[in-house]
Structure 1
Amino acid sequence: MKLYGKSELEALPLSLAEVTLQVSKAELREVINFLEKCDSEMKSNDQWEHAHLQDFLKSSKLAVDIVVYKG
């Protein structure tokens, strides 16, 4: 597993050693549901490449995004 991240101002992601999620219970459940969906799609589709949390939530007003990328 590799972790990457960037601030709004950075064009390219940086390699990270640690990630902290500051979330409510509801937000944590949404992240878990998103990761479970990624897992299911990755298992059933060899062509699956990546997914965005913001796309999964659709109506979210989050100012952040989580991208799961097949490695």
Structure 2
Amino acid sequence: MIEKGDLELDPDRKDALLIELVTAGSDARSVKHMLKKITSALVDSEHVEEIYPSDDKIQDRLREDLGG
């Protein structure tokens, strides 16, 4: 998403963001639930400077990136 210009973050905070996203998705009950939890964590994260797409678009991109 960063390469596509959908998301801006400080490169020094990338590892912290990844840990936050993995933690958010780790206790999901299903793939759909995981996408919602990761999207919510991404939108609400203090590690993200700017995020441009809607929640639905974020979930679509995550689904594409995860091969679904």
Band the TM-score falls in, shorter-chain normalisation: 0.3 to 0.5
Using structure 1 for the length normalisation, give the TM-score. Answer: 0.38
Larger-Rg structure: 1
| Larger RCO, structures 1/2 (Cα 8 Å, 6+ apart) | 2
Higher helix share: 2
